[in-house]
């Protein structure tokens, strides 16, 4: 039996739970998406500092792997740390970070990305 569309919409999109546990919402969402043949696109953001040809090859390999035809429903965006902004972080479902190792620490460009993220979003990454 399909869930009542009003309850479905209210419970998933307005935060009302109607007394149902989260697992019930997830199960209902999966059942409905399967019944309607809806594919949910996920967005992967690759933020990688690639100052050399070898690190650029590594970043490109990660993007090719994530966008491989065997992996369904994943949209891949690749940006350098100084090009990525808060809107990119908010729009993605997952982030893949790449950096060179400089004296045991991440690159300055990736560190700037974290600093700008903290400043513009209002909280820091764990």
Quote the number of domains for the chain: 2
Q: Report the phi/psi class of residue 89: left, alpha or beta, with left for phi > 0 and alpha for psi in -120 to 50.
A: alpha
34-51 pLDDT, tens per residue? 666 566 788 999 999 999
Average pLDDT over residues 59-72: 90
Average pLDDT, the chain: 75
Share of the chain above pLDDT 90, in %: 21
Q: Does 72 lie in the same domain as 99?
A: yes
Same domain? 47 vs 86: yes
Angle between helices 5-13 and 22-35 (to 10 degrees): 120
**Are residues 54 and 18 part of one domain?**
no
pTM attached to this predicted model: 0.63
Tokens of 55: 């690190």
Whether the pLDDT of residue 63 is over 90: the answer is yes
Q: In this structure, is residue 60 part of a structural domain?
A: yes
């Amino acid at each position: 039996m399909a869930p009542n569309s009003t309850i479905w919409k209210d419970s998933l999109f307005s935060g009302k739970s109607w007394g149902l546990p989260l697992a019930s919402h997830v199960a209902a969402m999966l059942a409905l998406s399967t019944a309607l043949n809806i594919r949910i696109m996920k967005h992967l953001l690759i933020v990688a500092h690639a100052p050399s040809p070898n690190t650029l090859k590594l970043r490109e390999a990660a993007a090719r792997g994530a966008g491989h035809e065997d992996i369904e429903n994943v949209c891949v965006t690749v940006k350098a740390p100084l090009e990525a902004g808060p809107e990119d972080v908010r729009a993605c479902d997952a982030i893949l970070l790449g950096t060179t190792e400089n004296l045991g620490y991440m690159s300055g460009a990736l560190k700037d990305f974290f600093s700008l993220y903290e400043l513009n979003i209002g909280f820091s990454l764990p």
